[in-house]
């Protein structure tokens, strides 16, 4: 009976993982935290931008949307194989907040007259595999992977805040809130017992992220 229960739990997790992947890649409405987009806050009003500035801003937000597709895949892959129920709950709670980022970025890309990355399935599949491998190592490694990922994303967002056209106040408001959330998720992962990853792993993560960000800017 116990074996049957474990098998059922594993099957349920796999079905949930597949369902979430289809929803993310299909652009379906996901359950986030319910927060309104930061660009709708009082006092957030952009200034006119040139065609080139709008194109550049849209490309940056497309990169961020691709990153949020990857984030969903990472969290779902890690949650799929998490050993501890508390770890899995923590990963899924963070993923729900990241759904907000996914929606905000997609909406902003459309507002700027562009499209999201055509390589979404590739970003999702690769990130899901990486997340699953991190989770299989151990829950401590998995949480440490979250902390290191969020640390690197924080730096990436800081760079984008500098590169945005001065008049794109709406995108800036979104990225600032995303940055604050990433810092929070990283700290929480460490507080839940995340391990510090070896430097070679950190460097490999930066390399993979660099390939994705440079590609998603155009494709």
pLDDT digits (tens, 9 = 90+) for 93-147: 889 888 999 999 999 999 999 999 999 999 999 999 999 999 999 999 999 999 9
Tokens of 14: 């796999």
The predicted-structure confidence for 153-172, as pLDDT tens digits, reads as follows: 999 999 999 999 999 999 99
pLDDT for 2 beyond 70 = no
Is 9 among the domain residues?
no
Is 29 among the domain residues?
no
Is 132 among the domain residues?
yes
Is 36 among the domain residues?
no
Under 8 Å between Cβ of 33 and 103: no
Is 18 among the domain residues?
no
Is 202 among the domain residues?
yes
Which residue segment(s) compose the domain that 109 sits in? 53-216
Angle 28-38-211 (CA atoms, 0-180°, nearest 5)? 65
Q: What percent of the chain has pLDDT over 90?
A: 74
Tokens of 83: 């050993």
Please report, for the domain that includes residue 117, its CATH number.
1.20.1260.10
Is 128 among the domain residues?
yes
Residue 91 has a CB neighbour count (10 Å cut-off) of: 26
Which residues touch 186 (CB under 8 Å, ≥6 apart)? 146, 147, 148, 149, 150, 151, 154
Q: How many domains does the chain have?
A: 1
pLDDT of residue 31: 67
Is 150 among the domain residues?
yes
């Amino acid at each position: 009976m116990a074996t049957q229960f474990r098998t059922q739990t594993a099957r349920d997790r796999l079905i949930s993982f597949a369902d979430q992947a289809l929803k993310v890649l299909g652009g379906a409405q996901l359950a986030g935290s319910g927060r309104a987009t930061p660009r709708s806050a009082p006092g957030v009003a952009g200034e006119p931008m040139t065609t080139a500035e709008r194109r550049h801003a849209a490309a940056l937000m497309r990169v961020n949307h691709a990153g949020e597709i990857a984030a969903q895949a990472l969290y779902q892959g890690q949650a799929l194989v998490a050993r501890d129920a508390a770890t899995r709950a923590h990963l899924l709670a963070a993923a729900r907040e990241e759904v907000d980022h996914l929606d905000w970025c997609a909406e902003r890309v459309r507002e700027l007259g562009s499209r999201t990355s055509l390589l979404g399935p590739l970003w999702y599949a690769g990130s899901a595999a990486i997340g699953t491998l991190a989770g299989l190592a151990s829950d401590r490694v998995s949480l440490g992977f979250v902390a290191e990922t969020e640390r690197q994303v924080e730096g990436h967002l800081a760079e984008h805040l500098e590169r945005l056209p001065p008049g794109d106040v709406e995108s800036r408001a979104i990225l600032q809130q995303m940055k604050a959330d990433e810092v929070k998720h990283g700290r929480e992962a460490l507080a839940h017992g995340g391990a510090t990853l070896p430097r070679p792993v950190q460097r490999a993560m930066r390399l993979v992220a660099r390939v994705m960000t440079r590609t998603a800017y155009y494709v």
